[in-house]
Structure 1
Amino acid sequence: MNTLPSLPGAEHADASPVRLGVLVPLTQPGWVEAGRHLLAGLDLAVGEVNDAGGIDGRPLELVVRDTAADPARAAAAVDELAGLGVAAVVGEYHSVVARAAAARADALGVPFLCSSAVLDTLTEEPTQWVARLAPAQSHGWRLYADFLLDAGRHRIAVATQPSVYWASGTRILRDHLARRGGTVVELDTNALTHEALCDALVDHGATALLLLVGHPEPAVPIVRAVRGDRRLAEILIGAPAGQPEFTEWAAALGEDGAGIPFLRYLPERLGPLGERVRKELRERLDEAPSFVALEGWDTVAVLAEVLRSHGTDRAAIAASWPRLAVEGTRGPIRFSRTPDSSVWQWTWTPVQIVDRDPAEPDRFRILHTG
């Protein structure tokens, strides 16, 4: 993975690899399946770049570091990768980890293209060094709130754990729902047993419960408890952060994990490029690729275009974000500034609200697009 041979027949004066640092969660408590999908997309795209001649005859190489969902570990990895001379750093799935990586990349003057994390505030101050492919949390979660209201769900409970990411999501939902007559009550899963949480849902007359918690713990046992409580037969369980996207969810919960709407970042239909990449990723992963795998492929497509057009100088890479136009698996990618974000942002990745079909849990149903 970390070392690729020189391209056959390359006669360039400099045939040394162009290195990209990669941050992915590959061990627990990180979401390992998400990290595996993200890395598969990155690696597939790098192989295609190198098969097409690399970057002006130089092979593209991934230097992978496991973040294990640890912000401090990610920040230290950015330091290490910068010292190894990478042209840029890419990747990461967990928002709090991406925020730590973005802050360190900004401080060091290393370009960071964030593949999958959505937290609005990746850096405290505006920066030229950081760009992001995934939509800002406020964009997707407001669409999710509108979906709940349109479905007649106005009394929303959120099961939470302490986290900047979950707190941000709760605030987005509360503010947006309040403007349309919805309410949000927060239930701290660290303070409530599963039985007490079910009692609180009944007491508050909640019509929806959103899981703003980690997977598999405590999300899986919470779903089982709610599904098993006859008083809550009509409540909608939702997971805007996307936990049901992955096969681990279906394997753990079976039918209980179906009918739980979540956000994913795909168009209603992929074009020819997206279909080709999805097919190749399916063969590589031996399962259906998530949108996270496509985010990985798109990440390398963007950086390859930057490197071919602007070279490997870090400052030149960072200066190129607003001038890019790249065809990705999910549509044309361009970066701009938005009022809610301190980084260069693809505005916007296609957004879907999807669930697993209760009649066939391995099949996804598109409930809303935005």
Structure 2
Amino acid sequence: MKTPPSPSGARTAGSSVRIGALVPLSRPGWAEAGQHLLAGLELAVREVNDAGGIVGRPLELMVRDTAAADPQRATAAVDELARLGVAALAGEYHSVVARAVAARADALGLPFLCSSAVLDALTEQPTEWVARLAPAQSHGWRIYADFLLGAGHSRIAVAAEPSVYWASGARILRDYLAPHGGTVIELDMRGLTPTAVCDALADNHATALLLLVGHPEPAVSIVKSVRRDRRLDEVMIGAPAGQPEFAEWAALLGEDSVAIPFLRYLPERLSPLGARVETALRERLAEAPSFVAFEGYDTVAVLADVLRSHGADRARIAESWPHVAVEGTRGEIRFSRRPGIDVWQWAWAPVQVVDRDPAEPDRLRILHTG
């Protein structure tokens, strides 16, 4: 029989302080991103415990696989973790899942520090329980739109699957590009094959195609088709959501994986802390860490600081968001209220547009910063 939570809403197992970690670790979720996120979370927890834990008590990470865009599964995981007495929730990568987590956390009075999901409308109404590290989609994707304009692209096609996240991205691009003379042509991937996408690009004289679709499919098949269509030799392929960041992208596409710009949330030069963490993450992952791994590390760094200062009481943790000032791997982290965003937001993590260098596919080159 499980022990019910204490009146404060948080308890510990033995002497540990528990954090619930929500991470996509299996298909159809973006499992590679989830592995990087978890690596960052786990590294930071290990370092916290090596340094004495939370006022002498070990920090414990309780991991749950959210798999993908399954709000019911995410809600069930939140309910389970709340019953197990976690002091707070951390993580999540997929925006649709993060929305469900945020809604349930708000209803239960359970603090949630969202690591990676960027959808502006993370909650339907203002909440004191949720904070976020990742830049809001409207911020990052406007920087991407600036990059497109600077590169001379005014007729931009988007191959989009139906989802709140992709629809939001397409709207941000359209609203930002229109006053600058840009046109966004939406291609509904529910009814188009990769070959049909190529025909539509040629017919509409688009100079850029943005992949607002899942990974690996249909993104990989679309890239292969476009790269093999001689009519489209001058068309730039872009992936603002970051699919090319991960090693699987290069493994599946080979030489076709390069020169596809995407958003990455890292500074041009890491601080000493960031450089040290990068080395440790590289060893843990046996590959270069993505920005998602840094988001995981920073999440625990913030929560550990809050737990040391305010204890494991859930209400006190939520009250602490506007007072956070923590050195993260990518800059000082503070939370504030931003127009149109109903959670406590770090404004902002650094934003880059990068791609894989055609001359050296394992190297990422910075094309634009915001």
Same fold (TM over 0.5): yes
* Counterpart residue type for residue 353 of structure 1: V
CA contact (8 A) 1:239 1:262 kept: yes
Query: Could you tell me which residue of structure 2 aligns to residue 24 of structure 1?
Result: 23
User: Structure 2-normalised TM-score?
Assistant: 0.96
C-alpha separation in 1, matches of 2:303 and 2:330: 16
* Counterpart residue type for residue 317 of structure 1: I
C-alpha separation in 2, matches of 1:72 and 1:207: 40
Residues 17-50 of structure 1: CA distance to partner in whole angstroms, max 9, x if unpaired? Answer: 1000010001100011100000010000000000
SS in structure 2 opposite 1:179?
helix
SS in structure 2 opposite 1:64?
strand
SS in structure 2 opposite 1:366?
strand
1:37-48 matches, within 5 Å, as: 37-48=36-47
Query: Could you tell me which residue of structure 2 aligns to residue 176 of structure 1?
Result: 176
C-alpha separation in 1, matches of 2:157 and 2:48: 46
* Counterpart residue type for residue 28 of structure 1: R
1:219-368 matches, within 5 Å, as: 219-368=219-368
1:104-183 matches, within 5 Å, as: 104-183=104-183
C-alpha separation in 1, matches of 2:172 and 2:340: 12
C-alpha separation in 1, matches of 2:293 and 2:34: 9
Query: Could you tell me which residue of structure 1 aligns to residue 193 of structure 2?
Result: 193
Residues 281-311 of structure 1: CA distance to partner in whole angstroms, max 9, x if unpaired? Answer: 0001100000100000000000000000011
Residues 145-169 of structure 1: CA distance to partner in whole angstroms, max 9, x if unpaired? Answer: 0110111000000000010000000
C-alpha separation in 2, matches of 1:121 and 1:217: 26
C-alpha separation in 1, matches of 2:162 and 2:312: 40
Residues 315-364 of structure 1: CA distance to partner in whole angstroms, max 9, x if unpaired? Answer: 00000000010000001000000002110000000000000001111100
- Give the Å deviation of 1:16: 1.1
Kindly indicate whether residue 80 of structure 2 is the aligned counterpart of residue 54 of structure 1: no
Kindly indicate whether residue 206 of structure 2 is the aligned counterpart of residue 206 of structure 1: yes
CA contact (8 A) 1:15 1:57 kept: no
Kindly indicate whether residue 77 of structure 2 is the aligned counterpart of residue 77 of structure 1: yes
C-alpha separation in 2, matches of 1:360 and 1:99: 38
Q: Structure 1 regions of 5+ residues with no counterpart?
A: 1-13
1:88-107 matches, within 5 Å, as: 88-107=88-107
* Counterpart residue type for residue 161 of structure 1: E
Residues 128-177 of structure 1: CA distance to partner in whole angstroms, max 9, x if unpaired? Answer: 00000000000000000011011100000000001000000000000000
* Counterpart residue type for residue 273 of structure 1: L
SS in structure 2 opposite 1:225?
helix
C-alpha separation in 1, matches of 2:179 and 2:136: 20
* Counterpart residue type for residue 22 of structure 1: A
User: Structure 1-normalised TM-score?
Assistant: 0.96
- Give the Å deviation of 1:188: 1.0
> Following superposition, which runs of at least 4 residues in structure 1 exceed 3 angstroms of deviation?
none
CA contact (8 A) 1:211 1:238 kept: yes
Size of the aligned set, in residue pairs, is 358
SS in structure 1 opposite 2:67?
coil
Identical-residue share of aligned pairs (%) = 78
- Give the Å deviation of 1:15: 5.9
SS in structure 1 opposite 2:52?
coil
* Counterpart residue type for residue 55 of structure 1: I
- Give the Å deviation of 1:194: 1.4
Residues 34-89 of structure 1: CA distance to partner in whole angstroms, max 9, x if unpaired? Answer: 00000010000000000111001110000000000122111110011001110000
Query: Could you tell me which residue of structure 1 aligns to residue 35 of structure 2?
Result: 36
CA contact (8 A) 1:15 1:58 kept: no
C-alpha separation in 2, matches of 1:81 and 1:183: 46
CA contact (8 A) 1:132 1:344 kept: yes
C-alpha separation in 2, matches of 1:194 and 1:224: 9
C-alpha separation in 1, matches of 2:120 and 2:71: 16
Q: Structure 2 regions of 5+ residues with no counterpart?
A: 1-12
C-alpha separation in 1, matches of 2:14 and 2:272: 33
SS in structure 1 opposite 2:78?
helix
CA contact (8 A) 1:15 1:59 kept: no
CA contact (8 A) 1:87 1:312 kept: yes
